[in-house]
Every structure is written in C-alpha cells, then in structure tokens.
Amino acid sequence: MANETFERWRKAAISALAYLLTLGAICFALDIPQMLGMALFTEQYLAFVLGITLALAFLTQPRFRGPLAILDIAAPLAALICGGYVAAFYPTLVNELVYKPLDGLIISLIIVVLTMEATRRVAGSGLAIIVALFVAYGLLGHFIPGALAGRPIQLDRLAIYLAMDSNAIQGLPLIVGSVTVIGFILMGQMLTVCGGGDFFNDLALALVGRRRGGAAKIAVVSSFLFGSVSGSAVANVASTGVVTIPMMKKAGYPPHAAGAVEALASTGGQLAPPIMGAAAFLMAEFLQISYATVVLAAIIPTFLYYFAIYMWVDSEATVTPLTIPEDVELPKASAVLKQGWHFLVPFVILIGTLFFLNWSPEMAALSGTVALGVLAIFIGYRGQRLSLKGAVEVIGSTGLAVIEILVICAAAGIVIGVLNLSGLAFNLTLQLVSLADGSLWILLITAALVSIVLGMGMPTVGVYVLLASLIGPALVQAGVNPVAGHLFLLYFGMLSMITPPVALASFTAATIAKADPWQTGWRAANMGWIAYLIPFVFVLEPALIWQGSLIDGAWHGLGAAAGVAFTTIAFTGCWHRRLLLWERGAFAVAGMITVLPVHLWIGMSFLGNAVGIAIGAAVMWNLYRTKSANA
C-alpha cells in the first residue's frame, strides 16, 4: 500500500514539475517577469530550471530498491531545495561567493554531485565518466607534467565556480537549452500530437512511393521530414522505423539493409533545416551568429547527405525489383496536402520570422507552435482534431522530452568550467595546433576521429559541446572558417550515431528490423559514405556553406551534387544493369573530380567541375545508348 501511495506521489510530482519547467521557459522567453516589474538575473532562472531538471532526472530514473530507495527521494528533494535557494538568494550570493561562504559551498557541492549523477542516469556512463575526469583534472591537473599541466585549484573554489559561475553550469549550454531548445521541442511535440508524423509519412508515400525502390525512398523522405522536427536520431528511428522498416522488408530488402536505410535517414535529421537538432542552437551561440546563418550553412551539406542515400537506393533499384508492396495504399500528394496543409504553417512562420523579421529562435518557435495548435483544434487530419486537453498535455510532454538535453547541457557546463578555470582550453589548443605541425589535414582527421570516438554511446549534443570546447579553438587557430569548423564537428558528432562499434541509431534500427546490429551499422556506414567526406570538402571550400558569393556556392553545390551521384553509382556498381569495371572507374573519377575542390590545386574554379560532369555525363549517355540498342 505504501509503495502504491509513493508511486502515485512520484507520478504526480513528475507531471507537475514537467509542466512547471515548460511554462517557466515560455514565461522567460516572452519576458513576462520584466513585464511584471521583476528584475531577475538570468542565473536565477537557470537555477530554477536546473533544480527542476535534476529533480525530474532522478524521479524518472530511479535506481535503488530496499533501504537505499530513500536516496531516490532525497536526491530530487535536494535538487529542488538547492535550485530554489540559488534562484531566491542569487542577488545576495553573487556578491559573497568570492569569500566562499559556507552556504554557497554546500549548495555548490550538492549541485555538482547531483548533476554528475543525473548525467549518468539519463545520458549513460560514458558522458558521466568524461565529466568526472574533467573534475578530477580540475583538482589534480597541476600534478600533470608538461604543457597540459593545469593551475592549482582548491576544492571549494572549483565547486563554487562550477555551480554558480556564468562560464560553467549556469553558462551558455544551459541558457540555450532552457530557452531556445525548449521552444523547438514544444513545437515538435505539438506536431506529433496533432498527427504530423502521419502527415509526413503520407506525404512521403505520395511523393516517392510509386518510384523504383519506393519503400526505401519513403523511409528516406519521411525520416528527413520527421527528423527535422524531432532533432534526435534514436527518437526518429523509433518513431518512423516501426512503419518504414517492416515496409522495406516486405518489399524485399534484407533486414540489415532496411535498418541501415532508416538509421541513416533518421540521423541526418539532426542537420536538417529549418528545425535542426539542439546542437545547432549551441553552435549559433558559441560562434555568436544568428541561428538563420547556421540554417543556411547546413542546407547544401544536408541536401548532399540525403541525396547520397536517395541515389544509393535508386541505383540498386535499377537492377533489383524492390517495389513497394501492392497492399500499401498510396495516397495522392494533392489529397494529403489538402487535408494537412496546416502542418506546413509553423514552418512558414518559422522561416519568415527568422529570416525576414529577425525574431529570436524561441519566439519564432513559440509563434509557430501557437499557430499550429489553433489550426489543429479546428482542422483535423484523418478526421482527428486536437482537443484542448491534448494541447495542454503537450506542455507536460515537452518538459519530459527536454530532461536529457538539459542535463547534458549542465554537464557540458562543468567541462567548459574546468577548461576555463584550469587553463586547459588554451594549452590544449596550442598542443593540437603543434601536433598538426602546420598540416590542416592532420588536424581535421584528428578532430574527425576524436568526434566519432567520443560520440560512441553519447548524444550528439554532448559530443558537439565537448568538441566545440576542446577542438573548436584549435581549428579556428589553424585558419579554418569558424562556421565550417564547428559544422565539421557537429557533422562528425552526428555520424557517431551510425558508425560501429557503438552506433545508437543503427542498433535501434537493427532491433526493429530483427537484424544483426554489427551488420546493420557497417551497412549504414557504407551507404552513408558521403557523410564522411563532405565535412572535409566544405572546410576546404566554404562556399558550400554559403561562406562566399552566391554564384560560387551554387556552382560548387551543383558540382558536389553531380559528384555524389556519380560516386554513389560507382560504389553500388548499378545503373540499369551491372556496370563493367571501366564504367565504375570512370564514374568514380568523375565523382571525385566534382566532389573534391580540385580547383584549389589546379587554380581554376570552373574547370574541375566541368570536366567531372562531362566525364560522368558521357558514361551515363553511353549506358542509356546501349540500353536503348538492346531494348
């Protein structure tokens, strides 16, 4: 009886805190405290968010049974008390922290310990161990010999700095997560509740279902559409994969291939404009640029990523009859859009307010959310309208959906705090630049490998923040365009989701497909070959991320797209028939010439793309000619 009562109280507390977290973020984004004449420090709001987030992390992820279960009660209470204390008394504390007051020290120690434990519970041991190592470095780094030695830091100073300073837990990552990201998660939750997932799936069915390889192409398109909203590779696989993977298997795709297509398409959603993953918002803040600039920079790389998957599917389908099952009903695009046109409204509002009205990202997201919610109440999809109760419940579901992101942001603040306080950030930048010894390639390859290794089992947000703090300064110091360098890190952090030996998106898709995870992961890495190359290309040729003239960006984008098509055909060895060895070689040469920025070596921007496109077009024309002759 006591256990049942406790469980009821636990669920009630989770629900109340989830609503409070989202409502607090909305109020702060709308600047309601200022309207009410309340002059709040940003740190007061962040302490409020942190206390609720940590409490939710412990309440939703209990770990102990028996007598130790009291710890699962004490931890959330301690989080709420500490967060509330800082939120209430920060104006006084901020002037006293330099003297290391006892109350500030105790609160700080509790916050740091709770943040590390919450990280372990919601993000896994990998990130928690990394955070613990950085804290250990902060305390013991001055014993390390050589250039990576840190400054001597006392425990009390380290704890107070990490918990209270605006360059640590209460710093940039948590600000972005608790203001901007919550707004976009709210928009994604509203789309889901209103039937946006069904709309995107139906639209994909209508657009590509009748084409060759239609079952896999549906997975690519629907995962792109839904992934740009969810911003989470694993959540995208779990949401769309339950529909697309069985469909692909029924069409004749081997289980591991079906899982690989879904994992690849879902992973790319974190880079897909206009609603990118949470890391994109952090990138904008790290670089002090607008979110619209990040969105623009991601357009061509995202297109190349999905175009490569689409071409792979299409190329294989030219020789293998992998058609969509006949019992799958294919709607007409006009009918889908007629019923679900209102799902496009928030995207129109988002683009318009971001690019033309220069609104903040959180205000743009909130506007789109409200517009969709109002429309969905009066306009249903598939005969189902949004109820007022459902609209209210979105607020609570958003609070639960952001727990992991906010905990990771707080953990990232600990890492950044240690880097700043110990001097490791400066020393590490010097060492990485020295290691590269003037070779940009060595530095980029090192950054790519570190990104993938760190990303094993870690969410993309955590990987990006670590890399932006550890390696980002070294890339910029080496002369890399800042936007290109940070997008490079974001790209490779994302790729850890599909790269064995630990590939969360691939393994999730393999579970749904009932396939071998290892085989699924390597198949995804093979199909997504372009994703491992394109980041190097746009670092060398920033025009691909619109860091240059419009003409240069369009021309190099066209060349890269042609190169993706030619090289993918060479990889698969299929184009209406099995290709001969010389044909695959010619396609590979044409693809590499157009994908790689060869003009940097030959000095002629126009010539490289023109030659590559001419070679590929000639081989393709020969294939069509011989096909017509044999018909």
HEC string of 455-492 equals: CCCCCHHHHHHHHHHHCHHHHHHCCCCHHHHHHHHHHH
* pTM assigned to the model: 0.85
DSSP string of 362-396, one letter each residue? HHHHHHHHHHHHHHHHHS-BTTBPPPHHHHHHHHH
How much is the pLDDT for 601? 62
Q: Which residue ranges in the chain fall short of pLDDT 70? A: 1-2, 227-231, 277, 321, 325, 327, 436-438, 455-458, 598-606, 627-631
Kindly give, in sequence order, each residue whose CB lies less than 8 Å from that of residue 176, ignoring residues fewer than 6 positions away: 278, 281, 282, 285, 409
Cα distance between residue 402 and residue 408, in whole Å: 10
Neighbours of 626 (CB within 10 A): 12
Cα distance between residue 591 and residue 616, in whole Å: 7
Cα distance between residue 459 and residue 464, in whole Å: 9
Q: What is the per-residue burial (b if ≥16 Cβ within 10 Å, else e) of 19-45?
A: bbbbebbbebbeeeeeeeeeeebebbb
Cα distance between residue 608 and residue 602, in whole Å: 8
How much is the pLDDT for 603? 59
Q: Domain ranges in the chain?
A: 2-123, 549-631
How much is the pLDDT for 562? 92
How much is the pLDDT for 363? 92
Neighbours of 618 (CB within 10 A): 12
How much is the pLDDT for 200? 85
